[in-house]
Homo-oligomer: A and B are copies of this chain.
Amino acid sequence: MPKLPIIHATRDVTHGRFQVEQVDLEFSNGVRRTYERLKGGGLGAVIIVPMLDDDTVLLIREYGGGVGRYELGLPKGRLDQDETAEQGANRELKEEVGYGARKLKILHNLSLSPSYMTHMAHVVLAQDLYPERLPGDEPEPPEVVPWKMSELHTLLGRDDVTEGRSIAALYMAHEYLAGRFKRS
């Protein structure tokens, strides 16, 4: 497990990359409420399930600034201008995992918190991988950790595997690869 970064300082800010929006709503029963939600900036995001072979997924271990520890999960990132979800997934894969993919398929979209965040991410299954690395903007290269899809349940009890979207995307890919996933 990598050594935790040193925290030199923390400070509260009232601006930054998170934008808050108030929405005045009237429900169909006439009840009125004002909800607050976080607006996800940018062009959308991707979460990638990179399959090294039919039963091996490549996870990454990366420092999570939100939770203040290293987290094991799927590679992900935001889309750049003029990039499709598949192109963005392939770029992030090359930056974070050191592989490109010849086969990329969007399985579905995942929200973060449908109650109070607009944020959505495409789940992209990446197959037919080949080694290729692009320089990323990570402060340190993520550690790549192969895991057996047939052993997904052994991930669930770990204290460093907590991200709902990673777990959901892994089970989604597992059902898809088993022929049990169908878009409605």
Contacts and interface: CB of A to CB of B under 8 A. Distances in A.
Interface in A142-181: 153-154, 156-159, 162-169, 171-172, 175, 180-181
A131 interface: no
A112 B112 contact: yes
Q: Which of A24, A28, A67 has the most CB of B within 10 A?
A: A67
A5 B28 CA distance: 6
A8 B115 CA distance: 18
Given A36-B18, A140-B29, A153-B181, A111 B162 contact: yes
B110 A163 contact: yes
Copies in the complex: 2
Contact of A27 (B10, B17, B140, B171): B140
A67 B114 contact: yes
Nearest to A18: B20
A4 B29 CA distance: 10
A120 B162 contact: yes
Nearest to A141: B29
A3 interface: yes
